[in-house]
Amino acid sequence: MASRTITALAFAAALGLAGCQTAGGALVSAPGVPIAVESIEGAPQGVQSALQGELASAAQERRMTLVGAGADARYRVRGYLSAETTEDGSTAVAFVWDVFDAEKRRAKRVAGAKPIRAASAASPWEGLDRDALRRLAADSMNEIAGFLVADAGPAAAPAGGETRPATALGFAEE
Q: Is residue 170 a part of any domain in this protein?
A: no
Domain that holds residue 68: 2-19+34-151
Comparing CA positions, the residue from 95, 74, 44 lying closest to residue 147 is 74
Model pLDDT, residue 118: 63
Q: Is residue 41 a part of any domain in this protein?
A: yes
Q: Is residue 147 a part of any domain in this protein?
A: yes
Q: Is residue 144 a part of any domain in this protein?
A: yes
Per-residue pLDDT, averaged over 54-68, amounts to 90
Record the pTM. Answer: 0.70
pLDDT of residue 6 exceeding 90, the answer is no
CATH of the domain at 6: 3.40.50.10610
Q: Is residue 104 a part of any domain in this protein?
A: yes
Q: Per the structure, how many domains does the chain have?
A: 1
Q: Is residue 53 a part of any domain in this protein?
A: yes
Model pLDDT, residue 37: 92
Q: Is residue 167 a part of any domain in this protein?
A: no
pLDDT of residue 149 exceeding 50, the answer is yes
Q: Is residue 164 a part of any domain in this protein?
A: no
- With beta carbons less than 8 A apart as the criterion, state whether 59 and 166 touch: yes
φ, ψ for residue 106 (rounded to 5)? -65, 125
Q: Quote the mean pLDDT of the chain.
A: 74
